[in-house]
Structure 1
């Protein structure tokens, strides 16, 4: 066993063969100074193995406009990443959402040595993007952050509703379903009804919550924030007052879906909306029956402005989204910024 004072072996101080080779290549092939060549070879000024300094990872992004099909192109730039004792050799991205990378080479693969990348997201949303950079000697750095892409609710200011896209229309429906689900949950909590009336309201409450959850799952990270209901003007100890409010919401909901149908371009979304509105119409009829059994059952003056819900042509009213949100405004704390439509 060597004594503590023993000198280290020659091999422990000498650069590895690969380091010597990089040194010679740097001097002979590139005309570099000896100091620069040593650094490129991973050696210190004395010819020993230099300690590698890890790089740092950083990126910026710029999102384009939402296209007609709802996709959004985003350009990423990681040129702010640095390596103190060399250069970044590799950039690896995880864009955190559905879509495809478009800056591909002839071989169909991205250039991992390029600090820039382009990714086309399938839809608006908030995505967690991860960048990993590495230097030629194996040093690695990572950074992760959330980015908002397209027309999304950041949780600050007015709630954005963009009626020019299918996801925006779904968010409009999601806002109304949030309101209805919160209302019926409160009714059940307060115990306003009993017996067969309670059974009807319980079914409606379950349906509205399913509608809310379905839209939330469809929208994913593009969903607007959880809204704050305001039921201060509702007397939950009065069955008649609760039913009048329920009738307002149900009539409003049906007219909202009818009025937004032509804003949807996806046949799948349109079919889903048609399924929901048919259930909402049954709710409206059920609430009317509880309010005034078998009187004005189909076309009584239960619309928001007192007009018949079903017109002389046998068609249920269709209301403009802005008109609907204005009617719902007293029951929601947040304000809306409606665009398009």
Structure 2
């Protein structure tokens, strides 16, 4: 590729990961012909079928440029690239996926910031300073250290040791209502199954090993919920059906479907089938996001507890009730 065109092209393969799928060349050809949607589909196929890192990367780039309204759907693919050691995908996690979250995932940002520079080398200054700053105020109510408020005593989260709380009320709210328990759960998976093997996984993929037969990578993917087929996860979708769910992926997906309704659906009683189809897609998109963000084990655990049973989606006079029972039976 010519250097002059590098900034304008979606084709980025200079970071040393081999092209492992013919779909990459198909996608590149479609891009040259300005068939962007077809090119994205080709890159996605290469990512799914062959675990091709250049395909994963180019799919993420394309989604971020062409479909900015659904940026949250990039996260599982950015995570796939990140755990393989691709620096572009790591930076996309930090600057595109996590940056847009309503609730800033400070612990996950801190973890991936370690690997965000060339060659997976550690950075120290900015990351350590950020972590230090997060320890100076309550992450929920933003009360400061005792020197600013004499009655405030801050306690760090016992799991991630990254964020701090001024008391049990804020801690409980952050864990239960703002999903910090989910964030801590994924962080523990990354510390146990990614951190000790990150460079080994990266080097193996760069040397051309088939990711499907690399046990440490596949175990990590299973723990993160990246390997389970979508159709096997439908029973877990009801985890996302609570309208009080705080996750930005769910919020974005819900907004997407509302916008689609407004553009294409008349508010009549005869539109139930269309409404269900649109809603199912939004739930599936949000479900994929949650799996990649927090892991299959956490989603399954909440489904088994029966904490979430149904969803009501209202659009003017039109409403879909008990989506999980109606849609997934």
TM-score, length of structure 2 as denominator length: 0.29
Larger Rg computed on CA atoms: 1
- Point out the structure with the larger helix share: 2
TM-score, length of structure 1 as denominator length: 0.28
